[in-house]
Structure 1
């Protein structure tokens, strides 16, 4: 593993169909599919990285269940300083939420301390609520999240040395575009999605894409339970 001193070592862990699609809700609910989907959590636990990060859409869909955001009533004026709440342990659930849309009700997610990455345009009433419930927040830009700033702050303020990136497609694409992924763990399930509209592993808007393609080096191939392939790539 290469040495990085100013940010976490970023591993991207994603589960895909053989045609590179990532939205498992499109794959049905048969017992076979449900059995295949367990590969993700099992692999996550096997890798053993306690800090994980996702985009707002993934957090909302898979974890906060589309809870509406909460704005604290009354008049507040909050300086745009990072807030590190009291927490225990060394596991973190981190969300990239530039628009401050996530509805948080508590300071933990599946036992992990919540950290949300915001921009400075967020309302004071939203920040007041986060402080009240003990959710940590970091600012990483005025109107758009700068991932390099976010990663440096996660390293400096929380001591995070390794970070697991787990989607969705646009956040994965943003990390890829900024050359901030150090290792890719792709679980290829024996499923063919076949849909046109379903998101793929990495998606980068053509207006910001920096180069034609990213070349990786295959580090390891494993066939695990239920004919799932676990591919590990490093980035040159």
Structure 2
């Protein structure tokens, strides 16, 4: 059984994704907004959170350090820890992330990889006590082409993950919505504008977007303080998800 997935994001009023690019508010600061975001994050009580390669690279910037000799590696998955209260999950289709340890802030790492990742990279992850799941043969090396439902099913079955926060970039979020894998949207709207030409929203999916792929219904709306509004939506997908 795949985890219940909540896409938890903060955006400007015009859908911008990066608070560093937002206009300022006289009533609050970016630090205030981040604090509220983290409070809501904790209140959602996840046992895993998932980000993409770019976000995870900001948390762990180690260089490649494959072992000198590569023995047999476990495919399609390897788990260094199975007893954690919360896991940090990174979606890294091409295997570009490297780590200094097996956890981020105390949360054990799990990396979701494309099928073309070489054994040397898997051996490096295993040596660093990093868990991984490799997509099935025939899946592509882009998030939208990987069988994300099957990978989530592995996380639920092998690690007991039942509630996962999706906190990716626009493309990753869009891939999950398009695949019918998002159950809720938790959206924190900041009292700010982005306004940049071509600026990304917090979700995008190709030239045709997500029309016909998802239906949202309001669960709750709340004044979250500091000018922020917290919106929660139930997501009903038109795409049958496996797992």
**TM-score > 0.5, shorter chain as reference:** yes
Which segment is superposed worse, 226-235 or 70-79?
Answer: 70-79
Asked if the contact 1:87/1:113 (under 8 Å) is kept, the reply is: no
1:103 maps onto 2:103 in alignment: no
Deviates more, 1:191-200 or 1:130-139: 191-200
**Compared with structure 1, are the counterparts of its residues 25 and 68 closer, same or farther at alpha carbon in structure 2 (3 Å cutoff)?**
farther
Does 1:50 pair with 2:51?
no
1:72-221 to 2 correspondences below 5 Å: 72-142=67-137, 143-144=140-141, 145-206=146-207, 211-212=211-212, 214-221=214-221
* 2:226 counterpart SS class: helix
Cα deviation, 1:39-70, whole Å, max 9, x if unaligned, reads 21111112221310111122113x22x43333
Find the aligned partners of 2:171 and 2:38 in 1 and give their Cα distance: 21
* Contact 1:106 1:134 survives alignment (8 Å): yes
CA apart distance, 1:80:
2.4
Task: Give the 3 Å change call, closer, same or farther, for CA 157–27 of structure 1 in structure 2.
Answer: same
Preserved contact between residue 173 and residue 202 of structure 1 (Cα < 8 Å): yes
Alpha-carbon distance change, 126 to 213 in structure 1, aligned in 2, over 3 angstroms: closer
1:24 maps to which of 19, 22, 26: 19
Partner of 1:13: 8
Q: CA deviation at 1:76?
A: 3.6
Deviation at 1:215, TM superposition (A): 2.2
Gaps of 5+ in 2: 237-243
TM-score w.r.t. structure 2 length? 0.86
Q: Give TM-score, length-normalised by structure 1.
A: 0.89
Give deviations 1:5-40, integer Å, cap 9, x for gaps: x21000110000000111122237997222222221
Structure 2 distance, partners of 1:14, 1:156, is 26
1:147: Cα distance to partner?
Answer: 0.4
d(CA) in 2 for partners of 1:121, 1:36: 39
Q: C-alpha displacement at 1:213, in angstroms?
A: 5.5
Q: Distance in 2 between matches of 1:181 and 1:189?
A: 22
After TM superposition, the structure 1 stretch with the greater mean CA deviation from structure 2, 71-80 or 39-48, is 71-80
Q: Tell me, what secondary structure is at the counterpart of 1:52?
A: strand
In structure 2, distance between residues paired with 1:171 and 1:102:
16
**3-state secondary structure, aligned to 2:214:** coil
Count of residue pairs the alignment pairs up:
228
CA displacement at 1:184 relative to structure 2? 0.4
Where in structure 1 do 4 or more consecutive aligned residues deviate above 6 Å? 28-31
Which residue in the other structure is 2:37 paired with?
A: 40
Give the superposition deviation at 1:83: 0.4
